[in-house]
Amino acid sequence: MDTAPIQIQKNLAQLAIGQKATICCLQDEEMSLKLIEMGCLPGSEVQVAYKAPWNGPICIEVCGYNLSLRMDEAATILLKN
């Protein structure tokens, strides 16, 4: 059994277009239920499909579909490798 601590590298807003990562946890309790209902479950793999310029929305691929999030929402999704 691996007892090494999980290393959180970055949040979803920090990923570049085309990068993939696995969701570790959700930071914002109020927003977490909304994100979970949209498929952002811990352990799910996400990939950044598009990013709007000037800190606009981000489009990710998660659970087989595209999901658009505001950058502040994406920043609450913590990732691991």
Whole-number Å distance between alpha carbons of 79 and 42: 9
Assigned domain for 56 exists: yes
What range defines the domain where residue 62 resides?
13-80
Is residue 31 included in any domain, yes or no? Answer: yes
Do the domain assignments include residue 8? no
Q: Compute the C-alpha angle 42/4/62, nearest 5°.
A: 20
CA 28 to chain centre: 12
Instruction: Name the domain count of the chain.
Output: 1
Answer whether residue 7 is part of any domain.
Answer: no
Res 8 pLDDT > 60 = no
Residue 1 lies in a domain: no
Residues 80, 10, 52, 26, Cα dihedral to 10°: 70
**Assigned domain for 2 exists:** no
pLDDT at 46: 97
Whether residue 6 lies inside any domain: the answer is no
Q: What is the pLDDT of residues 14-69, one digit of tens each?
A: 999 999 999 999 999 999 999 999 999 999 999 999 999 998 999 999 999 999 99
Residue 5 within any structural domain of the chain: no
- pLDDT score of 9: 73
3-state secondary structure of 3: coil
Residue type, 3: T
CATH code where residue 38 lies: 2.30.30.90
